[in-house]
Chains A and B, each alone.
Chain A
Amino acid sequence: MSIERLERRQGAALVAPALIWTIAFFVLPFAAMIWMSLTHMEGRQVVNEPGFGNYLRIFTDPSLFRGIVVSLEITSIVTVLSVILAWPLAWIIATRVPERWRRLALLLAVLPFWTSYVVRSYSWALVLGENGIVMQSLIQIGLLDTPIQIMATRAATIIGFVHFFVMLLTLTIYSNLVQLSPNYARAAEDLGASRWQVIRLVILPLTLPGVVTGAFLTFVLCMGDYITPQILGGNSELTLPQLIMLQLGRRGDYPMASALAVVLMVLVTLAYAGCARWLKMERV
């Protein structure tokens, strides 16, 4: 046997476990989901006659289509707000916090990850409620006469999400910032750049891979999340995951749930395609 053929076989043997894993746990279930999305319900039975009826309905039924719009709106707002809040936080931790305190600062940043997601959402429900600490404090200091409704609105969902994802983005941006050589900033300053120009024109662009990686993770996790909008949104509007759960838990309509899940997957893939330039490993 030639060395080339031997190497090919060895390569195939090394790749095989990962390939089998991917086929078994991603390709096959995804193919099954696509197939299921092409079937439809008649009464309470699934009819295995392939067609695009479910997809047609998703884009023509205002209630279902609105789920896509609501999800995209919430996810976009959360991603933008999280980036705006996380970048300065990461920058402060990486450059302004003395090294001996940096670990503590990072620990505080990741602390929200230590509590259960459900408990955290319910905690926000109590905080944002009419009798919660936010409204009562605003009334006490005279900024409000009567409480305004935040709980059970889109704002509550966004606050809950941003709280979680700012921490995630802070970590990805921080890891990017600490890898940057201080020589870039020094060189820019030597050439006459102000501190703000250094941040805007040198550091910020160099941290884009970290920002985009975090933003993409935020987009994926936020887009697919069911718990936060369910608890904090008060069912005032439904996101895609809520619509999927409605099809599964209430209706037993697996074909429609699968079609909605495929749409969700396509949206995430499009987001990946949009971010792909910055998500390349060598740039992170």
Chain B
Amino acid sequence: MISRPTCTALALCAAALPISAHAATELNALIWCDHADPALLEPFEQAHDVRINVKEYQGTAEALTILEQSRPGDWDLLVIDAVDVGRAVERDVLAPLPAEALPTTDFFPELVMASHNTKDGVTYAVTDKFGYNTLAYDKTKVDPADMTSLKSLWSGKYAGRIGIYDYYLPSLGLVGIAEGIPTAELGGDNIEKLREPLMALKKDTKLVADVVGSQTALATGEVDILLGGGEYLTATLHAENPNLEWIIPEEGAALWAESIAVLKDAGNPELALEFVKYVTSPEGQARLATSSCYWGMPANAKAGEHLTDEQKAVLRWDEQAEFLKRAQLYPIPSAEDDAAMQDLWTDMLQN
């Protein structure tokens, strides 16, 4: 007969076994929520006998602070706004990537974004997903013809039915686009030119919310139009409410793009690079594009081979060439302009 303490010890060992059996190695990734989808992670984990631990963060400043306060080796991978890769390179937290090992030749050309992902000829990150901060709306409650112009938001017709996505860069970019200021020129004195239209828009706005809040507001009919919303908000709701739509207005939209990078002090740089290769491969890209948290276009054009026709229709795959022509990249402000833009955004929220 086995004694009770022995039984307990055996039970504890048995409970511990599956963990050690499954997790020969671990990768730790600082990510946005779409990269936490098990449908994306599990195939890689099984293929490489690795466990991927993910931590979601909200803004680049937060991610950089987490990295600064961590020990070397704590983090292997970083998913970051493509326009902020330069900030991470400045902080010297990213490891160079072997450009030849990355499938960028299969990418939509606009999404290679070498000017952001490389510095002095060295590649530090690679784009893995993109989309548009634009207008999302319920086509049964809004005249779709009105949505072809951003100016409709200031017409008063939709007062109290508008929501704003709470991320100052794309949303200010869109206000600038509506005012005829290209996002690339959004800095210095141009920032103050946004104050009046922004405050006017706030008066007609019902709420300013993050991704989940925006999605909930659109889904529950709390708002009918969302400035800053795009396919990433409506795609996951499409099955439940096919009336939700998005459009790139005639003035244009703000292009968002995520990049993935290996951290300089990664504990397991080889495996981290393998993960980057996986995520940018056609299969990985298709899984990332249709992640349960939010959908977005894959940077790798070959991902289309792994998406269904219905998925491509929701992503509006065939219209991308035209969309990309009309989209402008997020503003990339200097530290001073960034502070001014955030001050303006705080004023808007508080008034």
Contact = CB atoms under 8 A, between A and B. Distances in A.
Given A149-B160, A151-B222, A246 B346 contact: yes
Contacts, number: 83
Given A126-B220, A129-B222, A237 B61 contact: no
A251 to B, nearest CB: 6
Interface in A133-158: 149, 151-152
Interface stretch (A166-174, A228-236, A275-283): A228-236
A62 to B, nearest CB: 8
A125 B207 CA distance: 12
B92 interface: no
Given A122-B216, A234-B208, A237-B349, A44 B62 contact: no
Nearest to A243: B346
Contacts of B166: 235
A62 B350 CA distance: 9
Contacts of B209: 152, 234-235
B206 A234 contact: yes
A237 B145 CA distance: 32
A238 interface: yes
A252 B207 contact: no
A1 B115 CA distance: 77
Nearest to B161: A130
B61 A252 contact: yes
A130 B64 contact: no
A251 B58 CA distance: 11
Interface in A32-64: 41, 43-44, 62-64
A45 B216 CA distance: 37
Interface string B141-185: 000000000000000000010000010100000000000000000
Contacts of A252: 61-62, 64-65
A63 to B, nearest CB: 4
A54 B208 CA distance: 26
A133 to B, nearest CB: 12
B320 to A, nearest CB: 30
B351 interface: yes
Given A249-B58, A252-B61, A252-B64, A234 B220 contact: no
A251 B206 contact: no
A63 B350 contact: yes
A125 B210 CA distance: 14
11 contacts: A63-B347, A126-B220, A131-B222, A149-B206, A234-B206, A234-B208, A236-B208, A236-B349, A238-B349, A238-B350, A248-B62
